Amino acid sequence: MAKKRENKTWYYWQNPNDKKWYILAFVNGQGSCSLRRWEAKTGDSLPKQVIKGGDWQDKFAEYLYGTSFRIHLSHQPNLEKDCKSRLPHEVLLEIKEQITQLHISLSLILLDC
């Protein structure tokens, strides 16, 4: 039996080329998949990528390797309406709170606590 694919998910990801951190939203829908990116510090939007045919899990798999961490949002914003130019303030705050906790957890692991 094939594993059920998620239609929408969020990640905190470090670009291996520029070493900057980004917030990513992956979406499957209506025969295509998309990737939306925002700068993690500012929440400013970057160009959207759309690929016809396939799931984001296959078409954007390179973003899931290296330094990437799953983000869980309490409320899924409308990406077209609410997040086109930048992430809404409340979404960015929720993400930054998770990122802070992630950094604390990673620091404790590195310190072997």
* Beta strand segments in 1-113, E: 8-14, 21-29, 32-39, 49-52, 68-71
pTM for the full predicted model: 0.86
Write the single-letter amino acid at 8. K
Confidence (pLDDT) at 104? 78
Q: Residue 34 half-sphere exposure, CB side, CA atoms within 13 Å? A: 13
The CA distances from residue 20 to 14, 39, 44, 47, 108, in Å, are: 6, 8, 13, 16, 22
What's the mean per-residue pLDDT of the chain? 89
pLDDT in tens, 25-69: 999 988 899 999 999 999 999 999 999 988 999 999 999 887 899
Confidence (pLDDT) at 1? 45
Classified as helix, coil or strand, 69 is strand
Helical (H) or strand (E) element with 82 = helix 79-82
In this model, does residue 96 exceed pLDDT 70? yes
